Amino acid sequence: MKYFKLITPIIIFILINGCSSKNLDKQFNCDGIIVKYNDYERFFEVTDMDLSNNKDFFMNQITIFSKFKNNYENESLVTFNKINKTLEIRGSNVISNYECTELK
């Protein structure tokens, strides 16, 4: 019975610590472009640019997309497909597609 009182708080601590949202971060390399996202925190970052705070940000179980201005006049749409693990960057004149591999 003495051990039960000691083991219970340790197990609870391990469960709470193991369920941190940092463990839900996903990171991908898309031909040199690093994509990070976290479904729980609704976070989306492409090459150190946080796109999840933009007004045009959208995330569901399959797709993440957001717009960003790459210079003063041009606006681009970044779309990441979680199932196919593909990244698409659509500018005013160019559409670029990238295959992504998950980084551990």
Q: Which of left, alpha, beta for 42 (phi over 0: left; psi -120 to 50: alpha)? A: left
Domain holding 97, by residue range, is 24-103
Q: Establish if 10 belongs to a structural domain.
A: no
Give the separation between CA 104 and CA 97, rounded to whole angstroms: 22
Q: How many domains is the chain built from?
A: 1
Predicted TM-score (pTM) of the model is 0.74
Instruction: Give yes or no for a contact between 47 and 36, defined as CB atoms under 8 angstroms apart.
Output: no
| Residue 20: predicted pLDDT | 53
Q: Establish if 4 belongs to a structural domain.
A: no
Q: Establish if 71 belongs to a structural domain.
A: yes
104 residues of the chain, pLDDT tens digit each: 666 677 777 766 665 555 555 567 899 999 999 999 998 889 999 988 899 988 889 999 999 999 887 666 778 899 999 999 999 999 888 999 999 999 98
Q: Establish if 43 belongs to a structural domain.
A: yes
User: Using the 8-state DSSP alphabet, how is residue 35 labeled?
Assistant: E
| Residue 22: predicted pLDDT | 56
